[in-house]
Structure 1
Amino acid sequence: MKAVTVVGASLAGLGAARALREQGFDGTLTVVGEEPHPPYDRPPLSKDFLLGKAGPADLALHDDHGDSGLDIRWRLGTRATGLDPRRRAVLLADGSEVAGDGVVIATGATPRRLPGPGPQAGVHVLRTLDDAEALRDDLAAGTPRVAVVGGSFIGAEIASSCSALGLEVTVIEAAPLPLAPVLGEEMAAHCTALHADAGVRLLCGTGVARLLGADRVTGVELADGRRIPADVVVVGIGVRPATGWLAGSGVDVDDGVVCDSGCRTSVPGVVAAGDVARLPAPGGGSARAEHWSNASDQPAVAVRNLLAGATVQDYRRTPYFWSDQYGVRIQFAGAARPGDTVRVVDGAPADRSFAAVYERDGAVTAAIALNRPRPFTRLRRTIAA
């Protein structure tokens, strides 16, 4: 290959660029990014960035000095609008294109928004640096009441940061118990109890009917008729993979870019990595993993198979993620399923400091820990083995 285009100036995109050089690719390397910013770390956006403990420079992933040998041609602030599979040409919103021999899709995902009309001012999502700056400015403008729609990990982290800022916070979750599909009901209950510990109101089992207010939001009307006053509303109800630009390209898309076990797509010379990639799952079917560790680890495998022109390496990593909420670090590895038994092996849930394992047919399949990093590291190694 003489030229490769990476679409997505993200953690996965930068990882792919680094992996290309590390694996011997010395041709033209172009990275296309919709945002004007060089690659940056997203997890701190909902935590230290909102709290004013970190700025844009602290989030930077690309180091002009350390990464000088990458010799990247950056196309930032330019959205990809299409892909010509025959020429492996990425079409851009400014009317230009970047053609080459290979393409890495690392466009990630975009946040879902509440459907229907409603006020715009004071309503936020949190995915990008610009999103975080807009939300931080709104929270600093004398905003006493915040409603977070969605009790997901990102929603919980936002609620935690708003609570630390001294704001009145309400979390609204449509499901009976947040996080239960991922953690199981028993462990999800321990994690969601962190809201009450911090004095944050958690309303479960009801959705949002509409946002109140004319130009600026004044509250949230729930499906059961209750009205929650709010000066700022943050919507954290999940994301959708950024694949619209691939329409008509021949790349198989189904809630993400469909890949084989080595991140190769249905189009030769095109691979995918990160939040946008859907790979075969160990237990059958397929899945996308929206985790930092996946976006960090996957590109090296995708690039190896891209350069080889065949799947010479499968992507096999134990799923892992973490979340920082209310001064508690939640860590999880593996995959929990309904019917798994959960056993506490260290600490005590009542103290919000413990480690537990999920077991199925006598084997440990997953582990969770709250403020127990050392025991968790040992358990994670066991699962990986």
Structure 2
Amino acid sequence: MIPFLDLKAQYTSIKSEVDAAVLGVLASAQYVLGEEVARFEQEFASYCRVEHAIAVNTGTSALHLALLAAGVGPGDEVITVPFTFVATVSAICYTGATPVFVDIEPTTFTMDPAKLEAAITPRTKAIMPVHLYGQMADMDTIMEIAELYGIAVIEDACQAHGAGYKGQRAGSIGMAGCFSFYPGKNLGACGEAGMIVTNNAAEAQAMRMMRDWGQSRRYEHLVKGFNYRMDAIQGAVLRVKLRHLDAWTDARRAHAARYSELLRGLETALTPVEAAGRRHVYHIYAVRCRDRENLHRSLTEAGIQAGFHYPIPVHLQAAHQDLGHRAGDFPFAEEASRTLLSLPIYPEMTAEQIGQVAAVMEQDVYAS
């Protein structure tokens, strides 16, 4: 069996460090926020090359608070993409704003800046590009358009820990960047956790209050807030894992290069593209398939786990029928949802395992 992701192998490789960190929190009896979370905030801010980091309980909460800090509320519009995990859009809806979609680029699967300006209206309050699968969107063009219209940019970097764009880290370019530490992410907690990063001190302070019931200090509630606090065990575990993230990223990139090398000989293969000036961290290694279901079946029969990210774009989800979209509205997003298959990729994979996956694919036929 080749799993899609092997969290047990990751834990085994750093077990002594993780166990010590967790036991330290238990001994301190400081279970919510506290010193471990504060230190992780400092370390993650440094990693992202920003001034401030605000730890929260999920990536969705991070997106929600960043939008609120940007002043997004009822009657506003936020532009994003339909090819993403539904949390991107849910966070917009939490504020009372309306999600407005633009299609993706067909090669990077990130926001197509050429379609962005046409989607802007007087109600547009923010733009939320998604750094999908571990590759950043075309941030120069997006920022140029946003600055022209005076619109805030919030990076959904929930899949892009350590990804790069022309030497800049994911989350450091827009007004704020939002990360998820869901266990399967490149930097994953032992449970749920998230983070917002920003260079704006006032907005950082506002988000710190909102995550903790709007308190400036205990029992003084200056604004309406939420219970979005990170627990200390997650902060401690993530501090340990952050020290290994660059090595894990190097391994992912090496595995992706090996996959692409092995699959290049197949005339019908379409492997992921790393755009010029970007550093892909391969949270997902997705190939485009002519007959995805057949290939998925072949891999499953060979004991290889593969997945679909994401088989139904958000604009066609039943939960968002109220937005009024139909099939055909965003053709590249819809094509990606029909044709992409995610192959196993994680730092602990071996060259032999990658070869086994490629060998099964070589016996099958897939194409764009």
**Greater C-alpha radius of gyration:** 1
**Is the pair's TM-score, using the shorter chain for normalization, greater than 0.5?**
no
Bigger RCO (CA 8 Å, 6+ sep) = 2
